[in-house]
Amino acid sequence: MKFQQRLEYNKSSDAVIKMFGDAAYFERKFQLLEALAFEVLDQSTSADTFLIRMKLTFPLSVPVPGFAKKVVGDTTTLVEEDRWNLSAKQGTLSIDVQGAPVKAIGHMRLVDQGGGCVNEINWDVNCSVPLIGKKVEKLIADDIQAKGAADARVTNEILTDYDA
pLDDT of 72 reads 63
DSSP 4: E
Beta carbons within 10 angstroms of residue 70's beta carbon: 10
pLDDT of 118 reads 98
Q: What is the pLDDT of residues 112-140, one digit of tens each?
A: 999 999 999 999 999 998 888 898 889 88
Examine the pLDDT at 61 and tell me if it is beyond 90.
no
| Among the listed residues 80, 13, 94, 17, the one whose alpha carbon sits nearest the alpha carbon of residue 48 | 17
pLDDT of 71 reads 61
Which has more confidence, 1 or 69? Answer: 1
Integer-rounded Cα radius of gyration of the chain = 16
Confidence of residue 66 (pLDDT cuts 50, 70, 90): low
| Domain assignment present for 91 | yes
Q: How many domains does the chain have?
A: 1
| Among the listed residues 20, 1, 6, the one whose alpha carbon sits nearest the alpha carbon of residue 159 | 20
| Domain assignment present for 164 | no
Mean pLDDT value of segment 76-102: 94
99 lies in which domain range? 2-159
Choice among 13-22, 50-59, 132-141, 154-163 with the minimum mean pLDDT = 132-141
Q: Measure the CA angle with vertex 160, ends 154 and 163; round to 5°.
A: 130
Which has more confidence, 72 or 44? Answer: 44
Confidence of residue 40 (pLDDT cuts 50, 70, 90): very high
CA-CA distance, 39 to 12, in Å (whole number)? 29
pLDDT of 69 reads 61
| Domain assignment present for 102 | yes
| Domain assignment present for 59 | yes
What is the pTM for the complete model shown?
A: 0.89
DSSP letter string, 13-73:
HHHHHHHHT-HHHHHHHHHHTT-SEEEEEEEEE-SSEEEEEEEEEEE-SS---HHHHTTT-
| Domain assignment present for 138 | yes
Choice among 67-76, 106-115, 127-136 with the minimum mean pLDDT = 67-76
| Domain assignment present for 14 | yes
CATH code assigned at 121: 3.30.530.20
3-class DSSP assignment, residue 139: helix
